[in-house]
């Protein structure tokens, strides 16, 4: 005997409540209830109530209680719309309602990619243009091959979600990507031209598997919210020859295309000889247009990561060490720790502000000079050879890095005075006054007619955002702790002080404080607008080009096989669009992965410590 009870299937709806409107479709809605006049209809109704419902639609509808003389009624479990459920009417009208039910719980992958403004599959209207945009966004974000859109399985999924989904080819997907790139490029150009600050650049050359040359130009700047921005402006084809004139013409053409040729602060390049000549030509061109600060004195900056690499190149052990070499390795372990600290800062993908670099470079320089006077002949010879290479570049970038650290409220000018006394001894005053003179000459470029604000004790806007630990070894940490007890000599007092002097006269922040320097200057830009404008430009200086390399390849500046097969315009569209739209998402995800890995390592170390402790416990077994 068949039972007239239905198997309840509960489907939870997690969406937001919406107002229901009448659907303009062919579904027959419930007419006003009428009483049955004939006995035959009552018999039919009784027959319908006793028959098992086998259609799948009954998982989404429920029967409502009715009197014997009324027709059976069912109600949608989602939206509550009622329909006649008599056997003579069938279930076709109920199936049509399931296709257009506004409360149907379906989710679109595109909504997870582009957010709440994306198209929903549950919408009764399908937008082919929006679908292609979502598909292009997925290809860009996840670096999918363009023939992904031609996979048979992917097309089957799309057809299942909506029968009106058009099948597009890989060429159509490429064209959609180029269109998206052009649209985002105009938006990025508007951002660069409207920002009041100057832009710092770094550029390097890449090579594809087919030996084609490409130039990557990256812009660093601090936006109106005092957030350090990094944007890949171009990843364009660079045909041979790669000489100085060609590099100069290519870079200047790109700057003019973006409309920022008059807003460049500095350019960071590697140590190739062709870069030296090309950057001099670019500096001369911009000086003639009066577009550089301090007549281009701080325009060219060399990659500090490459400098450290050059210093350490001759001391890479490429074979199995013998006993004597192991003894030497133990001696230089502490010596090389300072280079490790500096490398972590220079090659960081999180792009730290420029104030973090000078303390690292100072410790490296001080360590080299100290070991050059060592009694150990091997250590002294090694330090002397490294010192010659290091001092060649120290003269060029020490001043601009010193100015950057002066703007850090934890260090200021006394830190420069202390560092130079450690490095130069009695001759330190001349070096200190040289930096101080260039600091105020540089500040003179930002002096305006804005009245000097009234001073007050203590600087506002102190941030408590956590920063990374810069010193991994005890030697570097003890060196920096010595600065805490140092008192700088007061040089050049004036009755009428500038905004820069007033800000430098403020008490220093605790050196060990967790400080976000950008948040600090954001809180003080109205008290000291001129020093804040100078800080906005100089703190965005990229000290290294290594972070750009790690963005694309883990094996150096070589383009992978997938990108090498693309045309140059498509490759540039893919690289730049992905950086503009999803770089922040990837950075947040990488930080979360690093945090998870650190937590897991803490648990592993904890377990290992327990095992070591248990193994050290004395045995309770009797001694034979």
pLDDT at 426 over 80: yes
Quick count: other Cβ atoms within 10 Å of Cβ 352? 19
3-class DSSP state for residue 571? helix
The per-residue pLDDT for range 456-510, each reduced to its tens digit, is 333 333 333 444 455 556 666 666 667 766 655 554 454 578 999 999 999 999 8
**For residue 61, what are the β-bridge partners?**
76
Compute the residue count for the chain.
624
Q: In what order do the strands lie in the sheet with 199-207?
A: 228-237, 213-222, 199-207, 264-269, 300-302
pTM, entire model = 0.68
Nearest residue to 537 (alpha-carbon basis) of 239, 195, 243, 247: 195
Q: Are 557 and 465 in contact (CB under 8 A)?
A: no
Q: Residue with structure tokens 């035959």?
A: 40
Q: Are 215 and 236 in contact (CB under 8 A)?
A: yes
> Mean pLDDT across the stretch 519-537?
93
The per-residue pLDDT for range 96-135, each reduced to its tens digit, is 887 777 766 543 333 334 444 444 444 457 888 889 999 9
The per-residue pLDDT for range 11-58, each reduced to its tens digit, is 343 444 433 333 333 334 445 555 444 444 444 444 444 566 677 778
Quick count: other Cβ atoms within 10 Å of Cβ 385? 15
Q: Are 221 and 197 in contact (CB under 8 A)?
A: yes
Which has the higher per-residue pLDDT, 261 or 550? Answer: 261
d(CA 110, CA 135): 8
pLDDT at 617 over 50: no
**Crossing angle (nearest 10°) for helices 568-616 and 170-194:** 80
d(CA 276, CA 269): 9
Cis upstream peptide for 241 (omega within 30°) = yes
**For residue 219, what are the β-bridge partners?**
201, 231
CA 406 to chain centre: 27
The phi, psi pair for 349, rounded to 5°, reads -80, -5
The per-residue pLDDT for range 329-368, each reduced to its tens digit, is 777 777 888 888 887 877 765 557 888 889 888 999 999 9
> Distances in Å between the alpha carbon of 62 and those of 8, 48, 87?
9, 14, 15
């Amino acid at each position: 005997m068949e039972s007239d009870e239905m198997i309840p299937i509960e489907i939870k709806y997690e969406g937001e409540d919406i107002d229901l409107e009448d659907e303009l479709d062919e579904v027959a809605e419930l007419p006003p209830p009428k009483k049955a006049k004939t006995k035959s209809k009552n018999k039919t109704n009784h027959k319908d109530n006793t028959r098992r419902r086998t259609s799948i639609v009954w998982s989404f509808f429920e029967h409502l209680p009715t009197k014997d003389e009324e027709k059976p009624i069912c109600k949608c479990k989602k939206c509550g719309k009622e329909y006649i459920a008599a056997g003579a009417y069938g279930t076709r009208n109920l199936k049509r309602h399931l296709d257009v039910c506004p409360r149907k719980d379906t989710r679109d992958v595109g909504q997870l990619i582009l957010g709440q403004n994306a198209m929903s599959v549950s919408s009764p209207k399908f937008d082919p243009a929006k679908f292609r945009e979502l598909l292009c966004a997925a290809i860009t974000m996840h670096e999918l091959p363009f023939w992904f859109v031609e996979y048979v399985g992917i097309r089957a999924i799309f057809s299942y979600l909506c029968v009106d989904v058009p099948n597009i080819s890989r060429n159509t997907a490429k064209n959609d990507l180029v269109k998206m790139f052009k649209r985002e490029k105009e938006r990025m150009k508007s951002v660069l031209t409207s920002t009041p600050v100057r832009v710092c650049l770094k550029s390097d050359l890449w090579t594809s598997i087919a030996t084609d040359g490409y130039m990557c130009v990256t812009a660093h700047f601090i936006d109106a919210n005092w957030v350090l921005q990094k944007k890949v402006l171009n990843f364009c084809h660079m045909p041979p020859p790669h000489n100085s004139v060609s590099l100069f013409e290519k870079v200047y053409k790109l700057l003019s295309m973006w409309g920022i040729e008059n807003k460049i602060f500095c350019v960071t390049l590697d140590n190739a000889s062709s870069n030296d000549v090309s950057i001099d030509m670019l500096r001369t061109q911009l000086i003639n247009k009066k577009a550089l600060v301090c007549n281009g004195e701080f325009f060219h900056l060399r990659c500090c990561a490459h400098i450290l690499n050059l210093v350490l190149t001759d001391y890479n052990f490429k074979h199995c060490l013998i006993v004597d070499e192991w003894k030497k390795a133990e001696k230089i372990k502490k010596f090389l720790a300072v280079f490790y600290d500096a490398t972590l800062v220079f090659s960081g993908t999180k792009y730290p502000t420029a104030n973090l670099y000078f303390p690292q470079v100072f410790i490296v320089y001080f360590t080299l000079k100290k070991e050059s006077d060592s009694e150990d002949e091997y250590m002294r010879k090694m330090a002397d050879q490294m010192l010659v290479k290091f001092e060649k570049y120290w003269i060029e970038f020490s001043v601009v890095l010193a100015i950057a650290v002066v703007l850090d409220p934890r260090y200021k000018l006394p830190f420069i005075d202390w560092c130079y006394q450690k490095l130069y001894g009695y001759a330190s005053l001349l070096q200190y006054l040289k930096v101080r003179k260039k600091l105020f000459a540089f500040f003179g470029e930002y002096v305006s007619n804005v009245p000097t604000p009234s001073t007050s004790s203590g600087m506002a806007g102190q941030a408590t955002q956590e920063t990374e630990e810069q010193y991994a070894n005890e030697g570097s940490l003890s060196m920096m702790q010595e600065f805490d007890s140092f008192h700088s000599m007061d040089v050049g007092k004036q009755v009428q002080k500038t905004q820069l002097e007033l800000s430098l006269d403020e008490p220093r922040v605790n050196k060990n404080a967790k400080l976000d320097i950008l948040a600090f200057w954001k809180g003080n830009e109205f008290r000291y607008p001129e020093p804040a404008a100078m800080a906005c430009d100089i703190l965005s200086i990229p000290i290294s080009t290594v972070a750009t390399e790690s963005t694309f390849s883990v094996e150096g500046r070589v383009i992978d096989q997938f990108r090498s097969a693309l045309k140059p315009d498509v490759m540039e569209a893919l690289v730049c669009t992905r950086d503009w739209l999803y770089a922040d998402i990837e950075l947040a995800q990488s930080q979360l992965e690093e945090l998870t890995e650190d937590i897991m390592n803490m648990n592993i170390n904890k377990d290992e410590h327990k095992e070591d402790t248990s193994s050290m416990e004395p045995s309770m077994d009797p001694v034979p």
